[in-house]
Amino acid sequence: MLSVETFPTLQEAAGAVGPRAKFLGGGTLVMRAVSYGDQSFEKIVRAKTVDRAIGSHAAGLRVGAGATMADVLAARDLEFLHPVARAIGGPAIRNMATVGGNLFAPNPYGDFAAALLALDASVEMADGRTMPLADLLATRDHVTGLVAGVVFQRPESSAFRFRKISRVKPKGVPVISIAVHLKRGDPRVVFGNMAPVPARSVGAERALANGSDGAAIDAACAACLEGLAPEDDALATEWYRREVAPIHLRRLLEDGGQI
Amino acid sequence: MAKTPVTFTLNDAETALFVDPGANLNEVLRRGAGDLTTKHGCGQGTCGACTVLIDGVPHLSCLTLAETVERRRIDTAGGLAGGPNLHALQTAFMEGFAAQCGFCTAGMLMAAKGLLDANPNPTRDEVAEAISGNLCRCTGYEPIIDAILTAAARMQGRAV
């Protein structure tokens, strides 16, 4: 039998989550699981106060884990992330789905997590710990505690690009998604749905380390699958994903961000 | 397991119910409050048939934990008409054949109301975006978009 436990603060709620207790953010993941009779948990944990603040931080920008995709779209400071937030669901979903929840969204979801990984985001936990988002993603199935917020630096103008590839227009879950942050000397290329969690393409990053001219783009596309392990699902086979990933990476690098 | 008391405003009516732990708002509206205008479609946030307004903002009732709406305002398609007088959106949907099987209609109406309340003069693209989370397998969407634009014009006193 399912139970719901409500705490005044996120910090208090963090002590109650565990293998059989899931935290309720916007509800788009947990309530869906409830509707489908998921028996892997027996308790829903929620906090009455959620951190939806978006603003400046010593390290750049901070977004509270409880900020929704609609909050992101309303934040001028996050204009570079608007194409990502806008690509997630319809308006009702965007009014509910949170940034913190997206970090735990299983494939084929998790576009925002891919974008944050490309921005080298760090995660603030409710107990005060901080960790790189990459570390959280690597351990997210058994991470302890709750995410309080994410912190990242604002990218230079036009250096950040995002592309979501879906078969249903204008809205559909992604076959793959790609987020690129073209930092000179240290670029980031992140694929969603090309591994169990959003993952960096080390081959593409190596190829783009010295610029993104035509030869570098050719090399990045040729090497972009290095280290990635796409899987079959109802949307596409792993073979299809391997075939189309370099094509869409090229379009993103040559044409800029488009959905 | 003990039920949880929840009070909220449903279409101007103060409503108090006891809800099961983990119950979603869609179940509570339909079975508890008896408002059958809100449909249950996919149950996973894909179809939009269960769209309601919570404090004026579109939400999917199937993904909303019922006890989170404590002291909030819920608007459903059941509250659109004022007695015998249909809402402008309902009239435009009816006249423009924007409803065929009708299963998506309640969600479409509420998504549209959420849009027009915030943006009384939307463009065609803005209307399409507003209903982009609502699936319709009958109409091809064009009559729905036309109906929403017609309703918007009438509500603003503009010629259609």
Q: Is B71 on the interface with A (CB under 8 A)?
A: no
Answer yes or no: are the C-beta atoms of B7 and B14 closer than 8 Å: yes
Q: What is the pLDDT of residue A232?
A: 97
- Among the residue ranges A64-73, A105-114, A248-257, B87-96, the one predicted with the least confidence is A248-257
Please check whether residues B57 and B93 belong to one and the same domain: no
Average pLDDT of span B83-98: 97
Q: For residue B73, what is the domain's CATH number?
A: 3.10.20.30
Q: Are residues B12 and B64 in the same domain?
A: yes
Domain final position from B62, B79, B96? B79
A contact test, residue of B51, B65, B127, B131 with most A CBs within 10 A: B65
B14, part of any domain: yes
Q: What is the pLDDT of residue A134?
A: 97
The mean per-residue pLDDT over the stretch A187-211 comes to 97
Could you tell me if B10 and B42 lie in one domain? yes
Quick one: B73 and B100 in the same domain?
Answer: no
Residue A258's pLDDT band, with cuts at 50, 70 and 90, is very low
Count of structural domains, chain B: 2
What residues of A are in contact with residue B111 (Cβ under 8 Å)? 90-92
Point out the domain boundary residue: A95, A127, A152.
A152
pLDDT band at A221 (very low <50, low <70, confident <90, very high): very high
Give this prediction's pTM.
0.95
Has residue B120 been placed in a domain? yes
| A106 and A176 assigned to the same domain | no
The arithmetic mean of pLDDT across residues A116-120, rounded, is 98
Mean pLDDT estimate for chain B: 96
User: Which CATH number does the domain housing residue A105 bear?
Assistant: 3.30.465.10
A130 lies in the same domain as A110: yes
Q: What is the pLDDT of residues A131-148, one digit of tens each?
A: 999 999 999 988 889 999
Q: Which of residues 2-41 of B touch A (CB under 8 A)?
A: 4, 21-22, 24
Q: Could you tell me if A205 and A213 are in contact, meaning their C-beta atoms sit under 8 angstroms apart? A: no
Q: Does A40 touch chain B (CB under 8 A)?
A: no
What is the CATH number for B117? 1.10.150.120
Domain that holds residue A20: 3-47
> Using alpha carbons only, what angle is made at residue A224 by residues A222 and A228, rounded to the nearest 5 degrees?
135
Shared domain check, B75 and B9:
yes
Domain range for B142 is 88-155
State the CB neighbour count (10 A cutoff) for residue A231: 13
- Asked whether B116 and B138 are in contact (CB, 8 A), the reply is no
pLDDT at A31: 97
Same domain for B143 and B95, yes or no, is yes
Judged on CB neighbours under 10 Å (0-12, 13-18, 19+), B44 is: middle
Closest by Cβ to A92, choosing from B43, B67, B111: B111
The last residue of one of the domains, among A152, A184, A205, is A152
Q: Would you call B132 and A171 a contact, using CB atoms and an 8 Å cutoff?
A: yes
Claim to verify: residue B105 and residue B67 sit in the same structural domain: no
Mean pLDDT of chain A: 94
Asked whether residue B10 falls in the same domain as residue B56, the answer is yes
The reply to whether A143 and A175 lie within a common domain is: no
Q: Are residues B109 and B131 in the same domain?
A: yes
Whether residue A74 has pLDDT greater than 80 = yes
Domain endpoint, select from B25, B48, B79: B79
Residues A148 and A164 in one domain: no
Residues B92 and B74 in one domain: no
Q: Is the pLDDT of residue A259 over 50?
A: no
Residue B160 lies in a domain: no
Domain end (from A91, A121, A152): A152
Q: What is the pLDDT of residues B139-157, one digit of tens each?
A: 999 999 999 999 999 999 9
Pair B139, B121 in one domain: yes
Q: With contact defined as beta carbons under 8 Å apart, do A175 and A239 qualify? A: no
Q: What percent of chain A has pLDDT over 90?
A: 90
Tell whether A167 and A190 lie within a shared domain: yes
Give percent above pLDDT 70 in chain A. 98
Interchain proximity B58–A34, CB inside 8 Å? no
Do A43 and A19 belong to one domain?
yes
| Three-class HEC string of chain B | CCCEEEEEEECCEEEEEEECCCCEHHHHHHHHCCCCCCCCCCCCCCCCCCEEEECCEEEEHHHCEHHHHCCCEEECHHHCCECCECCHHHHHHHHCCCCCCCCCHHHHHHHHHHHHHHCCCCCHHHHHHHCCCCCCCCCCCHHHHHHHHHHHHHHCCCCC
Question: Nearest-CA distance from B7 to chain A in Å?
Answer: 16
Last residue of a domain, one of B33, B62, B79: B79
- Chain A residues lying within 8 Å of B130, measured CB to CB: 91
Judge whether B133 is closer than 8 Å to chain A, CB to CB: yes
When divided into structural domains, chain A yields a total of 3
Asked if A94 and A128 sit in the same domain, the reply is: yes
pLDDT level of residue A255 (50, 70, 90 thresholds): confident
Judged by average pLDDT, the poorest of A166-175, A179-188, B1-10, B42-51 is A166-175
**Is B138 inside any structural domain?**
yes
The pLDDT-based confidence of A215 (bands split at 50, 70, 90) is: very high
User: CB–CB of A91 and B130 under 8 A?
Assistant: yes
Give domain status of residue B40, yes or no. Answer: yes
Looking at the complex, does the CB of residue A167 fall below 8 Å from at least one CB of chain B? no
Cα–Cα–Cα angle for A82, A141, A51, rounded to 5 degrees: 45
| Alpha carbons A48 and A9: distance in angstroms, whole number | 6
**Taking residues A94-114, what's their average pLDDT?**
97
Same domain as B75, residue B96: no
Whole-number Å distance between alpha carbons of B111 and B98: 14
